[in-house]
Amino acid sequence: MAYSQKVVDHYENPRNVGNFGTGEQVKKRTDIGVGLVGAPECGDVMQLQIKVDESTGKIEDARFKCFGCGSAIASSSLATEWLKGKTLDEGMAIRNTEIVEELSLPPVKIHCSVLAEDAIKAAIADYQAKHGAKHGAKHGAEPGAKHGSEKA
Amino acid sequence: MRLPIYMDHAATTPCDPRVVEAMLPYFTEKFGNPGSRNHAFGWEAEEGVETARRQVADLLGADRKEIVFTSGATESNNIAIKGAAYMYARAGAGQSGRGHIISCAIEHKAVLDPCKRLAKEGFEVTFLDPGADGVITRAMVEGAMRPDTILVSLMWANNEIGTINEVPEIGALCHEREVVFHTDATQWAGKMPVDVDADNIDLLSMSGHKIYGPKGVGVLYVRRRKPRVRLQALVDGGGQERNFRSGTLNVTGIVGMGKACEIARAEMDADRERLLKLRKKLEDRVTAALDVVQINGHAEKRLPHLTNISFGFVEGEGLMMACKDIAMSSGSACTSASLEPSYVLKGLGVGDELAHSSLRLSLGRWTTDEEVEFAGAKIIEGVTKLRKLSPLYDMHKEGIDISKIEWAAH
């Protein structure tokens, strides 16, 4: 299958790779929300971290790491680009279909965009949970996220 | 060195130019139908087919009369498995208890699916699970044998991981129990030595395009004596190929198949030795440079030219994208139409993530040392790049046990 130019570009020059600290470190920081979605046995895992300006409520920075195919990497890379400068509500409004359109993903790769949307929602929900807020987390990601919580 | 490099010879091989040369006259000058018994055009074509039949028989240690030409290994497997089951059935169509068949969970689909069809038609099928090393042993087959077992079908070497089953030993067991033994030798014959008598084989499938011959032609070996194996034909018509496979013969393909077998027989030993060295070099190179790398399948009982390697915390399709100058395969779900990871690697019972992280590289007659060097370097570079992106590799480095995390399967 041929990849679109945009997928190749994100794959070869992924934007905003990394994190704002180890899992333990970011857990303690109230300005950071973390989304970890997917599963290794399904072949893709996305980790998305957002850094929120607590005074304005805007996402000032975002970082990702991804275990997955080129389309999964491109979807999460694109998500970080889109999130920067957005409010939490605007971030919550990002739909996987927009990612599909932007990256020209074929039908078999739609699940990559769904995972990216899940990662965004999980990261925002995690931030909101740290602030005791309930609003906005309509989709999939209850506080304390069902994704990626460590077993006792 | 020309890019891209082809390292997917288990999928298909280029035609050897000597094969193409042998085929060419049969398209234009010697175009006759070997079934035309009354003129020179037919005789000429028949001569080409009979030469090929002898070349194939010589490769397998068989008699010419035991060679049936087909359209490929898939058809050969279908004729062998369904043809034998229908012939040796213990009860008629529409009834249950028609007989027991033994195969294996990591066979090619061209064996699994005929077996599954038979299971719906009143036969009982046992699909053996190999151990983590992927090898099916005589003892495993013996443990599954029943008084009503009529057929055992097991591949000689696995197409994804290259592991080698105990075929001669399993064949001997089948002969002791008077059970028909079929082996899908698509990945084996033409690369490794075959002697159908010494190896106790009743039915053997092979394909032209895996051995530097053309696509669209294959062979089914059918034992004629000790014991004489009978099959119910699946395609009815003109009665060609001793009634096993009706239809005008694919003369050009058959001539090419014959030539490919002749070359394989002459060059097999040298090729095998050379490719084993190259494969080891490739494996040594990546395992020395990278951590958490696993070579899948039995350490020794493997084809010399094929390797299947899992690179922990890196997804196979993503890795192939990083190595776009190398043509290879992956067990990753993303590379399959079904979006399921390789059932072969899953079948080893060593975890799905291993399948997602796997690459299959299969070397061939024209693979060079320089190409192996290049592929090794590219793979190392790709894995290193993707591990920098991988959240799982971070967790591994932080000492987190990934298997202990409650992942939400999606």
Question: Look-up: residue for tokens 């018994």?
Answer: B37
Q: Which of B264, B283, B310 is the last residue of a domain?
A: B264
Residue B269 CB partners (closer than 8 Å, separation 6+): none
- Answer whether residue B5 is part of any domain: no
Task: Verify whether the Cβ–Cβ distance B410 to A43 is below 8 Å.
Answer: no
Give the residue from chain A lying closest to B317, CA to CA.
Answer: A69
Domain shared by B260 and B280, yes or no: no
> In terms of domains, do B315 and B339 share one?
yes
Cβ <8 Å between A45 and B321: no
The domain boundary residue, chosen from B236, B264, B292: B264
Residue B9 located in a structural domain = no
Residues 361-390 in B contacting A (C-alpha not used; CB under 8 Å): 388-390
Q: Which of B216, B234, B264 is the last residue of a domain?
A: B264
Cα end-to-end distance, chain A, whole Å: 42
* Cβ pair A69:B389 closer than 8 A: no
Of B317, B394, B402, which has the smallest distance from its Cβ to A40's Cβ?
B402
pLDDT tens digits, A105-119: 999 999 999 999 999
Per CB-CB distance under 8 Å, the chain A contacts of B324 are none
Taking contacts as CB-CB distances below 8 angstroms, the residues of chain A near B408 are 37-39, 146-148
Decide if A147 and B317 are in contact by the 8 Å CB cutoff: no
Q: Chain B closest CA to A151's CA: distance in Å?
A: 6
What is the spatial distance between Cα B353 and Cα A41, in angstroms, rounded to a whole number? 5
Same domain, B21 and B114: yes
Residue contact A37–B408, C-beta within 8 A: yes
Answer whether residue B136 is part of any domain. Answer: yes
Give chain B positions within 8 Å (CB) of A76. none
Query: Based on the domain organization, do B353 and B274 belong to the same domain?
Result: yes
| Inside any domain, residue B404 | no
Same domain, B276 and B356: yes
CA-angle at B206, arms to B205 and B207, nearest 5°: 140
Closest CA to B300 of B95, B163, B165: B163
Q: Tokens representing B120?
A: 């719906």
Domain assignment present for residue B406? The answer is no
The CATH number of the domain where B61 resides is what? 3.40.640.10
- Asked if residue B408 belongs to a domain, the reply is no
Q: Give tens-digit pLDDT for B100-149.
A: 999 999 999 999 999 999 999 999 999 999 999 999 999 999 999 999 99
What's this model's pTM, rounded to 2 decimal places? 0.92
Residue B380's domain is classified under what CATH number?
3.90.1150.10
Residues B246 and B120 both lie in one domain: yes
Give the number of domains in chain B. Answer: 2
User: Does residue B399 form part of some domain?
Assistant: no
Do the chains contact at B409 and A108, CB–CB below 8 Å?
no
Q: Which amino acid is at B265?
A: R
Classify residue B11: in a domain, yes or no. no
Q: Say if residue B156 is in the same domain as residue B77.
A: yes
Q: Are B116 and B255 part of one and the same domain?
A: yes
Would you write out chain B's pLDDT as a tens digit for each of its 410 residues?
A: 999 999 999 999 999 999 999 999 999 999 999 999 999 999 999 999 999 999 999 999 999 999 999 999 999 999 999 999 999 999 999 999 999 999 999 999 999 999 999 999 999 999 999 999 999 999 999 999 999 999 999 999 999 999 999 999 999 999 999 999 999 999 999 999 999 999 999 999 999 999 999 999 999 999 999 999 999 999 999 999 999 999 999 999 999 999 999 999 999 999 999 999 999 999 999 999 999 999 999 999 999 999 999 999 999 999 999 999 999 999 887 776 667 889 999 999 878 888 999 999 999 999 999 999 999 999 999 999 999 999 999 999 999 988 888 887 55
B405 and A151 in contact by Cβ < 8 A? Answer: yes
ipTM, 2 decimals? 0.86
Rounded to the nearest angstrom, the minimum Cα separation between A39 and chain B is: 5
Indicate if B298 and B231 belong to the same structural domain: no
Say how far apart CA B328 and CA B282 lie, in whole Å.
14
Check whether residue B255 and residue B380 sit in a common domain.
no
| Residues of A labelled catalytic | 42, 112
Domain residue limits at B210: 17-264
**Which residue among B356, B389, B408 sits closest to A65, beta carbon to beta carbon?**
B389
Tell me, what's the pLDDT at B403?
Answer: 83
The pair of structure tokens assigned to B225 is 């004596």
Same domain, residue pair B260 and B303: no
Query: How far off is chain B from A78, nearest CA to CA, in Å?
Result: 14
- DSSP 8-state class, residue B233: -
Q: Give the nearest partner residue to B391 out of A41, A45, A118, using CB atoms.
A: A45
Same domain, B177 and B45: yes
Interface membership of B325 toward A (CB under 8 Å): no
By the 8 A CB rule, do B386 and B17 touch?
no
Measured between beta carbons, which residues in chain A are less than 8 angstroms from residue B356?
A: 40-43
